[in-house]
C-alpha cells in the first residue's frame, strides 16, 4: 500500500492509482507533497483527486485505462459512483467497510483541500 503525506497528515492511496505519474515525489512508498510550493502541490492534488474520482466512476478497475486521460465532468456525483462500485463488488464486509471509510475520508480531504464544490461527501460518517 502506498501513502500520501499532505500537510503532515498521512493518508492511504487506494489500489489502482497510477503512481507512475507521481514517481518524482515518492520516498520509501510515501508520496510527499508537504514541501512542494503551492502551485506544484495544487497540481499534484488535482491529479490525485482526478485519479481517485476516475477510479470509482469507472466501476471496473481492471478495464479502465488511465493513459486515456478521460475528462471528468463537473457534475459527476463521486460518492454515488463509489457507492455503486462498492455495491456491485460486494465490498460491504467489515474490513471493506473500514477501507471504504478511509477512501471517503481521502476524497473528502482532497475535495476540501482543493475547495471543490461539486463533490458529494454524503457517505462520510456512515
Question: What is the crossing angle of helices 38-57 and 94-114, to 10°?
Answer: 140
Residue 80 has pLDDT above 50, yes or no: yes
Neighbour tally for 10: CB within 10 Å = 12
Per-residue confidence (pLDDT) for residue 43, from 0 to 100: 73
**Phi and psi (nearest 5°) for 33?**
-125, 10
Residue 30 has pLDDT above 70, yes or no: yes
CB–CB of 110/103 below 8 Å?
A: no
pLDDT band, residue 126 (cuts 50/70/90): very low
Distance CA 19, CA 24 (A): 10
Q: Three-class SS of residue 11?
A: strand
Per-residue confidence (pLDDT) for residue 28, from 0 to 100: 76
Per-residue confidence (pLDDT) for residue 72, from 0 to 100: 37
Least confident of 37-46, 56-65, 76-85, 96-105: 56-65
Per-residue confidence (pLDDT) for residue 81, from 0 to 100: 61
For the ranges 21-30, 41-50, 70-79, 101-110, the one whose mean pLDDT is highest = 21-30
Residue 38 has pLDDT above 60, yes or no: yes
Nearest C-alpha neighbor of 48 from the set 34, 65, 31, 36: 31
Residue 124 has pLDDT above 70, yes or no: no
Amino acid at each position: 500500500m502506498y501513502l500520501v503525506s499532505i500537510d503532515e497528515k498521512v493518508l492511504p492511496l487506494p489500489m489502482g492509482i497510477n503512481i507512475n505519474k507521481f514517481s518524482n515525489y515518492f520516498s520509501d512508498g510515501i508520496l510527499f507533497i508537504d514541501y512542494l510550493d503551492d502551485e506544484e502541490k495544487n497540481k499534484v492534488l488535482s491529479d490525485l483527486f482526478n485519479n481517485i474520482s476516475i477510479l470509482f466512476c469507472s466501476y471496473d478497475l481492471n478495464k479502465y485505462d488511465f493513459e486515456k486521460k478521460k475528462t471528468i465532468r463537473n457534475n459527476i456525483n463521486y460518492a454515488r459512483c463509489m457507492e455503486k462500485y462498492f455495491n456491485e463488488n460486494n465490498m460491504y464486509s467489515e474490513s471493506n467497510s473500514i477501507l471504504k471509510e478511509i477512501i471517503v475520508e481521502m476524497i473528502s480531504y482532497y475535495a476540501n483541500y482543493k475547495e471543490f464544490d461539486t463533490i458529494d461527501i454524503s457517505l462520510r460518517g456512515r
